[in-house]
Amino acid sequence: MTRTLVGVALVLAASTAGYAQAGAAAPTARVEVEVGGGVFGGARLGARDANLRSNAQAPQPYRLFTADSRLASTPSLRLRTAVPLGRRLAIEGGLTWGRPEIRTSLTADAEGAASITSVERIDQYAFDVSLVWMLDALRVGERLLPFVSGGGGYLRQLHEGRTLVEHGQVYRAGGGVRYRLMVRPEGFVRSMGLRADALVEVLRGGIAFEDRPRSHAAISGGLYVGF
């Protein structure tokens, strides 16, 4: 009986020590919710000439002006829900919303008029699903944990006045850090912390003058709570 009790005590001690060293990263929450914000870095939409159609007398198109458009950088709101799949892996779904401006420069006017820039503000929504991999080997102390992530989803852009909707895809890859403020094995709130991301996002479709992907940088940060 004594040997059995001693054996159980040793097993419990070993398990506790193992959790303190490696299990600090073990997920105690079944689901995490994060609210935060960031900056959408903008992306070039392409350029196009406004031409008069050619005819028998003028076989070559006659250019009236050139339009060059860009999606400007803008603040954004980010909402995430994540489900841990193990100690290092999680799957998460997110919604990013922002109101960037489309800035179109009109240049090379055929009559020599001065260049002008027109501005239209749009509503932009991105719904995505990503995988997140925790980099335990790069952990700093017990609180700071780097990670990498990647995924993709659906892009929806509404023109000013919301009379026209454009659809496309968004793909993202990057990484960041999580800083744990609190963790516990029981209770309604199991964990809480801060998170920061730096991403490269690629947009396809949506509002664009050229049929090619457009890349931009994005950063975000927020507060996560695990339940």
- Strands of the sheet containing 43-52, edge to edge, are 43-52, 62-71, 101-107, 116-121
Position 127 in a domain: yes
Give the residue numbers spanning the domain of 91: 28-42+74-101+120-226
What's the CATH number where 130 sits?
2.40.160.20
For the stretch 15-32, pLDDT in tens is 333 433 444 445 678 999
Whether residue 189 is contained in a domain is answered as yes
> pLDDT tens digits for 120-161?
999 999 999 999 999 999 999 999 999 999 999 999 999 987
Specify if 48 maps to a domain. no
196: in domain: yes
- Structural domain includes residue 106: no
The answer to the question of residue 86 being in a domain is yes
In a domain, 185, yes or no: yes
pLDDT at 57 over 70: no
pLDDT of residue 197: 97
- Residues 225 and 189: beta-carbon distance below 8 Å: yes
Q: How far apart are CA 198 and CA 220, in angstroms?
A: 7
Tell me the C-alpha to C-alpha distance, in Å, between residue 19 and each of 1, 12, 13, 24, 171. 27, 11, 10, 6, 36
Per-residue pLDDT tens for 170-201? 999 999 999 999 999 889 999 999 999 999 99
Reference 205, options 52, 46, 56; nearest CA is 46
Half-sphere exposure of 213 (CA within 13 A, CB side): 10
pLDDT attached to residue 25: 47
Give me the pLDDT at residue 157, please. Answer: 95
Q: Each residue of 64-110: pLDDT tens digit?
A: 667 788 889 999 999 999 999 998 999 999 999 999 999 888 876 66
Does residue 195 sit within a domain? yes
* Total of domains in the chain: 1
